[in-house]
Amino acid sequence: MEPCVIRASGIGKNVPTAEGRLVILDGIELEINAAESLAIVGASGSGKTTLLGILAGLDLPSAGTVCLAGREITALDEEQRARVRGEHVGFVFQTFQLLASLTALENVMLPAELRGDDDASESALELLRQVGLGERTGHYPRQLSGGEQQRVAIARAFASRPTVLFADEPTGNLDTGTGARIIELLFELNEAFATTLVLVTHDDRLAKRCGRVIELEAGRIRR
Amino acid sequence: MNLRLASRMAWRDWRSGELGLLLAALLVAIGTVTAISLFVDRLHQALLLESANFLAADRYIGGSRPIPDEFRRVARARGLDAADVLSFPSMVFAGDERNQLVAVKAVSEDYPLRGTLITGMEPFARGAPVDDVPAPGEIWIDSRLFPSLGLSLGDTVEVGMASLKVTRVLVKEPDRGGSFFDLGPRLLMNLIDVPATQVVQPGSRIGYRLLLRGPDAELEALREELGVEPDFRWVSIRESSPRIGAALDRAESFLLLGGLLAVLLAGVAVALSAHRYSRRHYDHVGILKTLGAGPAGILYGYLGILGVIGAISVALGLAAGGGLHLLVIEALDSLIPVELPLPSIRPFALGAATGLICALAFAMPPLVHLKNISPMRVIRRDLGAPPVSEWLTYGTAAAGSLTLLIWYSGSLMLTLWTLLGALTVLSVFGALAWLLLRGGRAIGMQAGSFLRLALSGLQRRHRENIAQILIFGLAIMLLLVLVLLRTALIDEWRSALPEDVPNHFLMNVTPDQLAPVNALLDRKTERQGPLYPMIRGRVVAVNDEDAQAIGPRRRRVRGFPRSATSRGRRRCLKTTSWWRGHGGARTTTGHWCPWRMSMRGNWALALATGWHSTSAAGPCRLRSPACAGLNGKASSRTSSSSFPRRH
Ligand SMILES: Nc1ncnc2c1ncn2[C@@H]1O[C@H](COP(=O)(O)OP(=O)(O)OP(=O)(O)O)[C@@H](O)[C@H]1O
Ligand SMILES: [Mg+2]
């Protein structure tokens, strides 16, 4: 595996608004190596989420290029970017984003099902056990607490054996204690799967656990 | 996404109740259309069959000359079944002193092509269906001929020059018809014996019919090919019995309209639930996309779900429609006097196609739209969905409705009018809803905080709210139209008959019975008008114009009597004085005038007077002072009277 998993150069993002062009990101240069963990911090509105979306190939920048796992995703069409996401990217969100109509197990099985794997349930079960929810597989998200939902989301994120795991404020909706346990789990699995971790956070403890921290200010990297 | 995943997702959505509404809407659409068209189809078939029984055929070619062999040959070549019927009045003699005028019907082996003959072995008893006709040398006769001729089964009577043996009692034949002149007692014989009777001679009054049976398309093609007019008449149930034809048409259009409205409503319901389903899946799609699903996968996945739901709802909807139509039949049991034949495949095809088109035209656009949802939605909640293509939504909905409506009604005009009505209602309701919401804002300014909150909630989503008001408005309008139409139709049917229209008739009163019968009627009934003689005549000229030439216009001049005994007869004739001789007519020399003589001269004059004198009142509606030449013969010397209907 080549050392550099993500290489972003000259990333700019601006959107048209009623008051003219709003510059959200400007001249971002970033390289992230395999198995590295990176925290993106910054004030609210500094462009963290926007940057994460661009790095993960969910969104396209207005300028610049992004390479992810050896593919220049900024040059791909939506269909191809989706394929790259399916193969290399896992997500954990602040609001969990489980499908409400699916049980915990089915949520974890989803990435494999989308890939067309047949025996999705075995490894999904194993993952649920790893996050400590082996007994709750048949429960729906609404029957689970916030922390439990986030654990299911983490299991789902690792279910696709991603190269990079992106997390946008994974503890933002949880109390301190639960958040701490989620952080433990995240890093544990990250280690076990040798995944590259990119996370956005306001949480200092979480940021400190990461190998590297960058701070955004008004769309630019401060350090 | 493959079909297996799609069905798995469909199952999960169904489990969580999200697909229920869509499925229900599709089910209602398919079920209603299937039920209505099943019912219409079976009723239609039954009525056609019933009316075919009435003709003893699907169509017939009739005329007063022998049917050319050419007709038979061409009909056979088209694979149509044909049978010959000859009818004529004749005297029959039993022994030396007994005789009676009868209506003879001579038929070929295949008669009747529709309906059945009912015969018995004993006069005035119930008979049983038979599927043959009198063998050569044999006849079957009406019950009342037995006493009047003093006959019993096995006796021989003379018809013209032939001696024929009475072997059965004729109880009923399908095409007995309501014509007054067929009401003489019936004698049924084999066509083969006709030459022996020597009745068929130049000048004798004989009706020839070639009965036909076969598929509609072939029959119509035959009609085109032969061009039987003007020497012969081509008769289907609509020509032979305009009342039944018209009732059939009305009943059909009513049910059809009901079906149309059901289709529109169902389409609206499907569109609504699909939109709701789609809105609830924006987040789903966002998540699926972050997990690696591309737009194509999303598209196929949701189309797959729609396909699965469509297939299930078609299967269930057809079954439900079948059940529902049985309930309808059960409920209307007392109103449907006929045995309904098995349905054709068409209602089921129609139901399935309705489901398909509803799914494609109404449910697909919002689901197709799902593929455009951005995966960024998952991390940026403020990111709304890109707007649904209105062109796609309304375009397909309009195209879908149009296809369904046209196919269903088979009539472009009816479809366009229905759509126009729906559009008008939509714009009126739209304007009203808009005003209401705007007015609400003004009121909200002064209202209490709770009401203001509610009103501002309404306004914030005003587009959606207006749409909902519109849809409910449309639905209510459609239902109202249906109710209104139903009432109007029934009223129209009722009012088609005048208040005191007679529903009982007394016939075959002989001249010497006139006085006592008149006295009896005056005492016991509220009858209107005197007894009048029954004659049969043909209009040969109107205002010196040849009646043949105005023939094609006959339908337009409503009430124009084709023969003196047709519609409007009672009023036409009752004020005239030309039968003062009480059922007979005396010539100027005072002689009894036998009906067989030509009736130009006095007769024509008298009839003309009669029509002229009542034309102002309308029933005959001969617009100019009419002079009609009459040329005809009476078939029996009888009079008749009619009684008003009692309510
Ligand atoms: N599509 C868009 N249209 C308009 N403004 C946008 C768009 N995307 C982002 N922005 C704006 O760009 C700025 C950065 O947004 P972003 O969500 O990246 O901030 P953030 O650093 O994640 O903030 P927070 O810590 O509150 O999550 C915000 O002011 C946001 O309103
Ligand atoms: Mg953010």
pLDDT, one tens digit per residue, over B215-251 is 888 888 888 888 877 778 888 876 665 565 666 666 6
pTM score of the predicted model: 0.65
CA of B463 to the centre of ligand 1 (A): 28
Residue B189 has pLDDT above 90, yes or no: yes
Q: pLDDT-based confidence at B319, cuts 50/70/90?
A: very high
Residue B116 has pLDDT above 70, yes or no: yes
Query: For the residues B619-626, what does the mean pLDDT come to?
Result: 26
Which runs of consecutive H residues, i.e. helices, occur in B447-500?
449-460, 462-495
Residue contact A100–B13, C-beta within 8 A: no
Place of tokens 């397909």: B396
The pair of structure tokens assigned to B292 is: 């690696």
| Residues β-bridged to residue B208 | B63, B86
Q: Is the dihedral of CA B583, B588, B593, B598 positive or negative?
A: negative
- In chain A, which residues touch B (CB < 8 A)? 49-50, 52-53, 56, 58-59, 78-80, 82-83, 85-87, 89, 91, 93, 95, 97, 99-102, 106, 110-111, 113-116, 156, 160, 168
Other residues' Cβ atoms within 10 Å of the Cβ of residue B592: 11
The CA distance from B3 to A106, in Å, is 17
Do residues A29 and A220 lie in contact, with contact meaning Cβ atoms separated by under 8 Å? no
B343 vs B568: which has the higher pLDDT: B343
Residues of chain A contacting B12 with CB distance shorter than 8 Å = 101-102, 106
Tell me, using a 6 A CB cutoff, whether residue A147 lines ligand 1: no
Q: pLDDT-based confidence at B630, cuts 50/70/90?
A: very low
Q: What letter represents residue B244's amino acid? A: I
Of A2-11, A156-165, B277-286, B399-408, give the lowest mean pLDDT range.
B399-408
Domains and CATH numbers, chain A: 4-221 (3.40.50.300)
The CA distance from A151 to A130, in Å, is 10
Q: What angle do CA B82, B172, B86 make, to 5 degrees?
A: 40
pLDDT digits (tens, 9 = 90+) for A127-176: 999 999 999 999 999 999 999 999 999 999 999 889 999 999 998 888 98
State residue B344's pLDDT score. Answer: 85
Do residues A140 and A152 lie in contact, with contact meaning Cβ atoms separated by under 8 Å? no
Residue B81 has pLDDT above 70, yes or no: yes
Query: For the residues B409-438, what does the mean pLDDT come to?
Result: 79
Residues of chain B contacting A58 with CB distance shorter than 8 Å = 289-290, 374-376, 378-379
Instruction: Output the residue whose Cα is nearest ligand 1's atom 11.
Output: A24
Q: Is the dihedral of CA B8, B9, B10, B16 positive or negative?
A: positive
Domain segments of chain B as ranges: 59-235, 502-644
Tell me, using a 6 A CB cutoff, whether residue A110 lines ligand 1: no
Those residues of chain A that have pLDDT short of 50 are none
Closest ligand 1 atom to residue A219 Cα is: 14
Q: At what angle do helices B282-290 and A78-88 cross, to 10 degrees?
A: 70
Residue contact B5–A114, C-beta within 8 A: yes
Any idea what DSSP says for residue B229? T
Residues of chain B contacting A101 with CB distance shorter than 8 Å = 12-13, 15-16, 18
State residue A196's pLDDT score. Answer: 94
Do residues B136 and B185 lie in contact, with contact meaning Cβ atoms separated by under 8 Å? no
Q: Which of the residue ranges A77-91, B151-165, B334-348, B582-596 has the most confident prediction, judged by mean pLDDT?
A: A77-91
CA atoms within 13 A on the CB side of B301: 26
Residue B401 has pLDDT above 50, yes or no: yes
Residues of chain B contacting A24 with CB distance shorter than 8 Å = none
Across the interface, which of A59, A95, A114 has its CB nearest the CB of B288?
A114
